[in-house]
Chains A and B, each alone.
Chain A
Amino acid sequence: MVLRDFFSPAKIRRVRQELLRQNFEFKESDLFRLHQTADILTLSNKVLREFFDFFSSKDFCAYISKITKTRVTKADMSGFIYSSTDHLLPHDDRLEGRKIAYIVNLSEGFTKKDGGALSFFATKNNRPTKIMQSFTPTGNTFFLFKVTSQSFHQVDEVLSDKKRISLAGWFY
């Protein structure tokens, strides 16, 4: 589910501004290379905490439960920056308790040639086969998808010097 211009532009600008003031830790494994903040819940920044509290609120979880037809009661959230060469290879996100994955994209000025797209895979027998759909990073876009044995997705390599910025996590 892709919800464009979902949040108030002024609010999301402020969230982006505050997020970029946080410490991002470089992380790398066989599956990814990216920069990530600590869990927003542990940060002292007022704007980010308010945004997270809204996400995790009873009302918003009820709204997410309604539009996804999946009962969720809480969320977690971290900030991410993908710089040139950063990527996240195909995976399905499955881990105990995760029901709905989400991404609030805060990137600006990306075009297809900059890379960084969020790509979803077609599956056969619960195995990913080929890319089915790709979304170029666009600011103030809210992605939601169910975490299942078929929810394979990746973040394509960022090919330029632009920064792919997002807040992401899961509803439980």
Chain B
Amino acid sequence: MIHPQYYLTSTVRAAARQFAKEGSIQLRQFLLPDAYKKAALPLQKAALREQYLPDQYHCHEPKKISAAVKQLQRWLKTKEAATIISAVIQKKVRYKESCLCVYTHRDYTVRHDKNTEPPGYDVLLDLTPRWNNRACGHHSYVDADGNELVRIPVAGNTLAIISRPNGAQKFVKYVNHFAGKDRRVVLEARFA
């Protein structure tokens, strides 16, 4: 399921160097093409359930989760996932929680007092096969004053690992009409 290059010590060491420098990294072509397509493509047509708290978020979740996506969710909880992520971060971390989020036109999340997250590491497995970057929908990490620390652009089949220091929060920028009918799909996990 995982591309064999991410089992190579040389690849993981290079990723760890970049993570140490930037505080985030996007591992491209993370899944094998077939595993990625099997998980990502059906989600573009899946029936969705709306999640709406106007001053906090507007997003969706699939009504049914396919076997291929369940396999990815299970993988995030494995020792193998923790080993790869810990090797990149250069610190032993453990899986805490995850959710599968779908963002369509008019969806967003905003920072909110009721939604603060503890410091840790976010892991975003992007399952978006097609996206117009003018549509926004990217993840943005900001410090306590709202200054952007890092922006994670939408890129299908990437595994992003982001360090979230004390006080830093994330949001998903409002998805505008350039998205058309495309959906941004992300398996969002937290490690600490």
Q: A30-B111, A30-B171, A31-B110 are in contact. Are A90 and B177 (CB under 8 A)?
A: no
A154 to B106, CA, bound (A): 12
- The answer, among B52, B54, B177, for a CB contact under 8 Å with A85, is B177
The minimal Cβ–Cβ distance linking B55 to chain A, given in whole angstroms, is 5
Once the chains bind, are A90 and B111 in contact (CB under 8 Å)? no
- Residue A87 CB within 8 A of the other chain: yes
- The answer, among A29, A130, A157, for a CB contact under 8 Å with B177, is A157
Beta-carbon nearest neighbor of A128 in chain B: B54
Beta-carbon nearest neighbor of B173 in chain A: A30
- Residue B146 CB within 8 A of the other chain: yes
- Residue B7 CB within 8 A of the other chain: no
A90 to B110, CA, bound (A): 10
Q: A31-B110, A157-B106 are in contact. Are A85 and B55 (CB under 8 A)?
A: no
Q: A29-B146, A30-B171, A31-B110 are in contact. Are A157 and B176 (CB under 8 A)?
A: yes
Chain A residues, CB < 8 A from B54: 89-90, 121, 128-130, 152, 154
Q: A30-B140, A91-B55, A127-B53 are in contact. Are A157 and B146 (CB under 8 A)?
A: no
A118 to B174, CA, bound (A): 17
Interface size class of B (residues with CB under 8 A): 20 to 34
Once the chains bind, are B55 and A127 in contact (CB under 8 Å)? yes
Q: A30-B173, A85-B177, A159-B177 are in contact. Are A90 and B140 (CB under 8 A)?
A: no
- Residue B142 CB within 8 A of the other chain: yes
Q: List 26 A-B contacts (CB under 8 A).
A: A29-B146, A30-B108, A30-B109, A30-B110, A30-B111, A30-B140, A30-B142, A30-B171, A31-B110, A33-B174, A85-B134, A85-B178, A87-B176, A89-B55, A89-B108, A89-B110, A89-B174, A90-B54, A90-B55, A91-B55, A128-B53, A128-B55, A130-B52, A157-B176, A157-B177, A159-B177
